[in-house]
């Protein structure tokens, strides 16, 4: 695969979607071959998952998310990487290692559903103060079931545990401190990590 794969992770309300939009725009200024995507995917299965998350739980939800991810990787991510695109993905395996744990699954079971996935070129984790994230979530009109189950502090802790687990699996990862930064500044910090020589030259 000749393209590069950037994943943006972090707790609900930390600003992933906005930062991903800034990243895609910045990357396109140098090369139009940029594909922005998200999980759950925009496939029929992904759209079904978005609608069913309130009622499908536990193992059933974990398996359904893994199925959507398998389709996403095989039918969308890999073809774009093979075509030389940079793929920017809002959520990936680390989200499962957090959200499915909030839903009662163990890490080993979650990983068993996802160990087939391709590792990104770089996974970045956005972090902010739990209180700031909570205030942002309070401004939303509605929260998903899983957003209501785990608070920002718990999610931040579970993401740190997910990073430790994926370190053991050889994933290349970085943490971005979002405190006091605008989304554009956060995106710039992400790109500095993504364009670092040791990452830019990695397969």
Range of the domain at 80: 4-200
Read off the CATH number of the domain in which 150 is found. 3.40.50.300
- pLDDT 10s digits, 3-24: 999 999 999 999 999 999 999 9
Counting as low any pLDDT under 70, the low residues of the chain are 141, 143, 147, 201-203
Per the structure, the count of domains in the chain is 1
Paired strand residues for 38? 90
pLDDT of residue 132: 95
DSSP string, 55-80: T--HHHHHHHHHHHHHHHIIIIIHHH
Spatial distance between the Cα atoms of 63 and 68, rounded to a whole number of angstroms:
9
pLDDT of residue 193: 97
Q: Are 19 and 190 in contact (CB under 8 A)?
A: yes
Q: Are 46 and 37 in contact (CB under 8 A)?
A: no
């Amino acid at each position: 695969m000749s393209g590069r794969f950037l994943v943006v992770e972090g707790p609900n309300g930390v600003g992933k979607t906005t930062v991903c939009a800034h990243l895609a725009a910045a990357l396109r200024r140098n090369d139009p071959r940029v594909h922005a995507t998200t999980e759950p995917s925009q496939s029929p299965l992904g759209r079904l998952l978005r609608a069913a998350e309130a009622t499908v739980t536990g193992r059933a939800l974990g398996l359904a998310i893994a199925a959507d991810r398998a389709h996403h990787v095989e039918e969308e991510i890999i073809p774009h990487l093979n075509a030389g695109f940079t793929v920017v993905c809002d959520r990936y395996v680390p989200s499962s290692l957090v959200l499915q744990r909030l839903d009662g699954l163990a890490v080993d079971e979650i990983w068993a559903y996802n160990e087939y996935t391709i590792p990104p070129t770089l996974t970045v984790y956005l972090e902010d103060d739990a209180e700031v994230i909570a205030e942002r979530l309070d401004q939303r009109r509605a929260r998903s079931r899983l957003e209501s189950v785990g608070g920002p502090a718990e999610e931040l802790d579970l993401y740190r545990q997910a990073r430790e687990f994926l370190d053991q699996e050889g994933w290349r990862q970085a943490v971005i401190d979002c405190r006091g930064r605008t989304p554009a500044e956060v995106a710039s910090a992400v790109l500095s990590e993504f364009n670092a020589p040791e990452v830019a030259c990695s397969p």
